[in-house]
Structure 1
Amino acid sequence: MRLESITLARGDRVVLEHIDLHLTEQRIGLVGDNGAGKSSLFRLICGLDQPQSGRVSVHGYRTDEASERRKLPQHVGLMFQNPDDQIIFPTVAEELAFSLTAAGIGKQQARQQARDFLAARGLPDWAERAVGELSQGQRQQVCLMALQITTPATLLLDEPYSALDLPSQLRLSTQIAATSQQIILSTHLLEHVQDFERVLWLDKGKLRGDGPGRDICAAYAQDVRERAASNAAAEVLQHAAQADAT
């Protein structure tokens, strides 16, 4: 997929500026502070937002062409940060079957394929489980399986580890590692992307780093440490000045 000279603005605020990317690697990480533009980049790739300038092409389909944009769900899937924003149906099997019926498969066939899909992953007993009884990590697993079952070429995972405890992170990480599709994953937990072949670092809407996971994660972490130290020093000086004033 390609993003060519992309600029995205919301009102007077520039969200992404002059972004040029050709994303071909199987595992791509996306890091940066809150508000850096990571979720907005995903929305552009899915065709949910349109840039003020530039062009986005996803597996040969242009997102600014309505007829081509309608075909994007067959090729790219987005997993939201909060699974409750994505899950619709009360049971796991129904949720997975919905992904298939939305892709044009009949309801009966979709239900059977959903059960077969779960059984193949050692989870046959999940079929009738109520989504509301699942943990946060298990609901994230369901969201990912709902994307995997229709086999889009690319999966966009927006902060999938947020609010998960360590065991849930490990289970989800194992599920992601076993996925054959291209993964683009945004996260603040650098250990989950430091071994990726490519990581992008967004900083205030601009691409500040692009390279091997370990290099970019180390550079971003160092930048965070330096900013924290600078802020701490500024606070000390401020408190000293206030003390002198009194």
Structure 2
Amino acid sequence: MPTIDFQGASVTYDGTTVLEPLTARLTERRIGIIGSNGSGKSTTVRMINGLIEPSTGQVLYDDLSPAKHGRDIRKRVGFVFSDAESQIVMPRVVDDVAFSLRRFKLPRNEVRSRVDDALARFGLSHLAENSPHTLSGGEKQMLALASVLVIEPDTIIADEPTTLLDLRNRRRIVRELTSLDQQLIVVTHDLDMLRDFERVLVIDEGRLAYDGTPSDAIAFYTDLMDAKP
């Protein structure tokens, strides 16, 4: 598994500290990050592939810094946002998946093969010619996954991937994510999703409040939320 090193990484905006210096090494295959809204969870994971730059310290992905090696890291780290609509960039479903491969300079036949495989894997082949904006919420999230998995990344980061989904689509997304061979980091309020993960971090008010097994971390988080006014 890849190694992700947070080395005193903090984030400050306009004089306000969003994330206090964080030091942690992530090497597990299944990692969850939980915390209340605005606690700094998304900020934490967005530093991994350079979507956000730390104000102090650094984050290394297999000893590579996003500041210097962002292009290489983004070829290895796929990011799935909670609002799949924000990842749609092309007029057709098939083009949207193919767009993810533009930086790899692959032969046309390999691009087509990868795209076809990704669409088939997520049950989207029959929608290939459709506008992504006409898809249901669940189908859009499947498209987002297809667009990430088509690049064959080593790590997938999913930032609240089930937030906008109904129960049926939530279960499908959880099933797809947890069956992946790659390293998976999930930011979520869906605590049940994390029961079989290897490690869960609790972020509270911009700091790492707990780091441990899912059962212990979820118990800590639940008690923490119960104690808040």
Q: Note the 1:61-210 alignment, pairs <5 A.
A: 61-65=64-68, 68-120=69-121, 123-210=124-211
Contact 1:29 1:186 in 2 (8 A): yes
Structure 1: distance between partners of 2:136 and 2:124: 15
The amino acid across from 1:131 in the alignment is P
Q: Which residue of 1 aligns with 2:13?
A: 10
Specify the alignment match of 1:59 in structure 2: 62
- 1:54 shift after superposition: 0.9
What amino acid does structure 2 have at the position aligned with 1:190? L
Distance 1:46 1:120 in 2: 26
Distance 1:89 1:164 in 2: 22
Q: Tell me the equivalent position of 1:27.
A: 30
> Does the residue aligned with 2:33 lie in a helix, a strand or coil?
strand
Cα distance in 1 between the residues matched to 2:92 and 2:67? 35
TM-score by length of 1: 0.86
2:202·2:210 contact (CA, 8 Å) conserved in 1? yes
Mapped to 2, the partners of 1:60 and 1:19 lie a distance apart of: 17
Work out the CA distance in 2 between the residues paired with 1:54 and 1:153. 24
Q: 2:46 aligns with which of 27, 38, 43?
A: 43
Mark the runs of 5 or more structure 1 residues left unpaired by the alignment. 232-246
Aligned equivalents of 1:5 and 1:189: distance in 2?
A: 28
**By percentage of residues, which structure has more helix?**
1
Quote how far apart the aligned CAs of 1:77 are.
1.5
In structure 2, what is the Cα distance between the partners aligned to 1:64 and 1:17?
Answer: 19
The answer on whether the counterparts of 1:97 and 1:107 sit within 8 Å (CA) in structure 2 is: no
**Unmatched segments (≥5 aa) in structure 2:** none
Identical-residue share of aligned pairs (%):
34
- State how far apart, in whole Å, the 1-side matches of 2:12 and 2:154 are: 28
Contact 1:30 1:199 in 2 (8 A): yes
Contact 1:93 1:111 in 2 (8 A): no
C-alpha distance in 2 between matches for 1:46 and 1:142: 21
User: Quick one: structure 1 residues 51 and 119, their matched pair in 2 at CA, closer, same or farther if it must change by over 3 Å?
Assistant: closer
| Paired residue secondary structure (2:210) | strand
Aligned equivalents of 1:116, 1:63: Cα separation in 2: 30
> In 1, distance between residues paired with 2:133 and 2:76?
29
CA distance in 2, matches of 1:120, 1:8: 38
